[in-house]
Structure formats: structure tokens, C-alpha cells
Structure 1
Amino acid sequence: MHPPQMRAQARALRARGDTIHAVARTLSLPYTTVWHWCVDRPERAKLGTGLRCFRCLPGVENPTDPAAYAYLLGLYLGDGHLAVSPKVPVLRIYCSDAWPGLIEACDVAMRAVLAAKVQRVQKQGCVGVQSYGVHWPCLLPQHGPGKKHERPIVLADWQRPILENHPGDFLRGLFHSDGCRVANRVTVRGRAYVYPRYMFVNESTDIMELCQWGLDLLGIDWRMNRRNSLSVARRDAVAALDRHVGPKS
């Protein structure tokens, strides 16, 4: 299939309600390619952030790409910071150099949700993916002074249905920021076993409860192995989470 035909098919699937991830899987294309074809269009880039902030547009209740919003919110709650000052607010999410795919996915999500421009600032061992925008506080009401685990983190009424419809994308953001998929090794009666396991670590009780809530929405078993650490280890549970999260890249 020629690129123009594939682009048209991707846009047709997106128009009927398929998520960017679903379209990418259907057409065996990279997520970023589908996103650029369906979301990052020239006419959209010309709009100011005020015209791309769904919270400020009359008659608009949901983001253009709710899956991208759910993913970005998960990243923000894990490794993000929204600096609000007399100047333009800036959203920063820090991604390890070890995961270039995560850096790209974060960039793509910011653009899909609000950003016209995204900067990547190299730090020691990580990249600060950042975007300036007056309307970021509208979309991330969990921002505030101080560390997240020292203040309440509560979903706004309008955020809850978005995450209820896209819990897998929200969990992907949480696990991509403060989680990991590891090979767990145990020895039973002298015999060694290796099995995959997801871990999520966060000092905020509220954010941990949001992670638990998302897993419950998908019917995925979990347990707390420490005060600030959640584990998904049952074979069927790991397989289910693989379909939504998967290893970092």
C-alpha cells in the first residue's frame, strides 16, 4: 500500500474512534508515524494553546486524544513537574537516557495533548522533556507547591471518566515513570525460577491508590510488597499488563 493510501486509511480508522495505538497496531506502523498523520497536522499547529485546551473551549468535554492525555497524566504524576510562575508555566517530565523510546513517547504525548513546541534539555543521566504553555495548569490540576507525596493528589471530576475509559494508557504512564518490568529470581527447594514481574514504587499514598484503582479497572491482580511498593507477579496479571504497558524502550 502506498503511503498516501495508508495515511488515508489511518485517518479513517482514527475518525471512527480508534485510538492512535489501535491504528498503529492495525496497520503495523510506529505510534509516532500514526500520530503525525492523524494529530500533528499543519492546521492544528497554527492554533494557539487556548484553542487546543479542551478545558477552555465551550462545548468540549474531552481531549482530542484522551489516550495520550491519560498517558501524559501518568508520566506527570510519576516524574513530572509543572512550574507555575508569573511567566509562562512550563511542564517538565524527566526521562532516563537509558530509555530513548520513552523520551520520544513523552514528546509525542505532550504535542498530542496541548504543546505546539517541545524542548529536550539534556541533564546528567536524563532528559528533561518540557513544554511552555499558559494552559498546562488547566489540564493538570494536581500541580501545586512542594513534593507530591507531601500534599493531596486527587483527580478532578472531569479527569475520572477519561481514565476510566483509558486505564491502560494511564497505567502505562505510571509504570513508565515510576515502575519497571523485571525478571524476578527465586529459589524453591534448591531449584531456581525466573519469572517476569512489574513493580511500581511511589512515596505518595494518593498516587499509589490511583495505580491500584487503574489495575482494578482492568481486573489485574496486585499486592503491596512494601509500604511504598506495588507488585504485579501472577502470570495472567503480568500478561494482561504487558498488553497495556510492556517493557520500557
Structure 2
Amino acid sequence: MYDVGTRKQALALVSQGLSLNSVSRQTGVSRAAIRSWRTRLEPLSPRSEPCPRCSETPRDPDDPPAYAYLLGLYLGDGCISPAPRGVYFLRVACSDAWPGLIDACAEAMRSARPDNKVFRVPRQGCQNVTCHSKHWPCLFPQHGPGKKHEREIALEPWQQRIVEAHPWDFVKGLIHSDGCRITNWTTRIIGGERKRYEYPRYFFTNKSDDIRALFTDTLDRLGVEWTHCTRAGKPYNISVARRASVALMDAHVGPKY
């Protein structure tokens, strides 16, 4: 027999994405026991806070700016996957190059489901920031079978209301997931001499027409000018290069960190 602490430790490692073999080696618990614990129905912890969207009177998430940011991250590099016992995992892939982004993503997940643990699962060159909850499909109704760019993506009225109230948080989430701030350069003839000229610009790249439209519609409301940049003849890239618009983006989004 194993004590409750050992059981919780083993299941926490499994929830981080580790294999049964790996967890068994780390904890000394047999794979059969771990597999049995995963399939049992009784909860290991007190019931978490009710989902704001599942209550008798559905309400918005408690931290709308954090939700708008997390929505942007999810639409870019996030996915929701089913797990045993009706639980779902929300995963957002974050590059190791941006530790501040990883922290911000974890904090936004924690705001959405404060009673659920947030894990950081290392992968080559990135970390999957992960949190389990039965209510991720309630909070992100865009979840569905197949790739996001192969199905319709539309915001629910309550999500649209949050995005309109906190547009910069939404834009920041999208840029942090599928965007970047870079420095472009070109050359100009000045006084008969060719000189190098550098200027910053933002890019957002996503295969989904719907997700790109959510991004550009929000930029329009914010007064940010943008253009399409085609890739292989397809308008996957959105560019923000006008000086005043880049200044707006710098003031509210800025480079990844």
C-alpha cells in the first residue's frame, strides 16, 4: 500500500506528461498501481471553484484582462486535449527563449482556474505550459476536432465583449504566441552615398483566416495600420510597419521577453 502523498506525487508527474515508466522509476511505484490510480473515479482533492460559464447565471471570468491575453495565446499556440475522467488539458507551447512569456502564460492560466495546478513540461527548445480542468471547453468554446485553421473559429458574444473591453491584452496574447517584433533594414542613397536604414516592425503569422481576421479587426478598432504579406501566394502574414502604428504596439505590447 502506498500513502496518499506518494499517490499524489505520482499522479502529478503523470499530469505533467511523463510516461508511466518514467514516473515509476522516479517514485518506486509500479506502473500497474499508477495506471489504476489514473482510472479511479474518486477525487484526490477538494472540488475546485465552479466554472463561471457553467453557473446558473453564466458570468465572465473573474480576471477579464488575463482571460483576453490567454485567449490570444490559445488561438495562436494553444490546444485542448481530453484526458481520463472528463478532464481536459490546456497546453500552450512557449519558446525557452522567452522566460517572461512563459511566466505570463502560467499566471494567466492560474487566473482562469485558480484551484488547478499549472505545470511547465520541458520539450526540446520550448515548454508546454499546462493546466487540467473539466471546464476548458466552457472557457474556450473554439475547442473542437481537427486543426484550428481547418475549421471555423468565431468568438462567442461574451468573449467578444471581453476582447472589446481589453483589446491590447488580446493583441498581446496573439503576438506572444504567433507574432514577433523584428528590426528590418534597407539601404538608401543619401548625399550620393548608400547608407543602411533600420526600422522596427511587427509580424503576426497564422494559417487560419478567421484568427487573422480577429487580429486585424482588433487592430482596426485600435487605430493600428497593417498590411498583408503573402507567403507562397497566401496571406498568412500580417505586418505592422508604419511608424505611428509601431509606436502604439511598442507602448502596449512590446518585444517578447
TM range (shorter): 0.7 to 0.9
Q: Which residue of 1 aligns with 2:97?
A: 98
> Deviations 1:155-196 (Å, cap 9, x if unpaired)?
112111100001100000000000000011111333211111
Q: Give the gaps of 5 or more residues in structure 1.
A: 1-45
Alignment of structure 1 residues 78-93 onto 2, 5 Å: 78-87=76-85, 88-93=87-92
Q: Distance in 1 between matches of 2:140 and 2:208?
A: 17
Q: Distance in 1 between matches of 2:136 and 2:251?
A: 29
Percent of counterpart pairs with the same letter?
54
> TM-score w.r.t. structure 1 length?
0.78
Q: Which residue of 2 aligns with 1:208?
A: 212
Greater strand share, structure number: 2
Whichever residue aligns with residue 154 of structure 1, its letter is: A
Say whether the 8 Å CA contact 1:154–1:206 is kept in structure 2.
yes
Q: Distance in 1 between matches of 2:111 and 2:82?
A: 21
CA shift, 1:56, in A, is 1.5
Q: Which residue of 2 aligns with 1:178?
A: 178
Q: Distance in 1 between matches of 2:47 and 2:244?
A: 45
Pair 1:222 & 2:226 matched: yes
Q: Distance in 2 between matches of 1:213 and 1:50?
A: 34
> Could you say what secondary structure the match of 1:158 adopts?
helix
Say whether the 8 Å CA contact 1:49–1:135 is kept in structure 2.
no
Whichever residue aligns with residue 112 of structure 1, its letter is: S
Q: Distance in 1 between matches of 2:217 and 2:82?
A: 29
> Could you say what secondary structure the match of 1:145 adopts?
coil
Q: Which residue of 1 aligns with 2:169?
A: 169
Q: Give the gaps of 5 or more residues in structure 2.
A: 1-44
Change (3 A) 1:110 1:47: farther
Q: Which residue of 1 aligns with 2:148?
A: 148
What root-mean-square deviation, in Å, do the aligned CA atoms of Structure 1 and Structure 2 show? 1.5
Q: Which residue of 2 aligns with 1:67?
A: 65
CA shift, 1:57, in A, is 2.4
Whichever residue aligns with residue 58 of structure 1, its letter is: E
Q: Which residue of 2 aligns with 1:240?
A: 248
Q: Distance in 2 between matches of 1:48 and 1:70?
A: 26
CA shift, 1:132, in A, is 0.5
Q: Distance in 1 between matches of 2:252 and 2:182?
A: 16
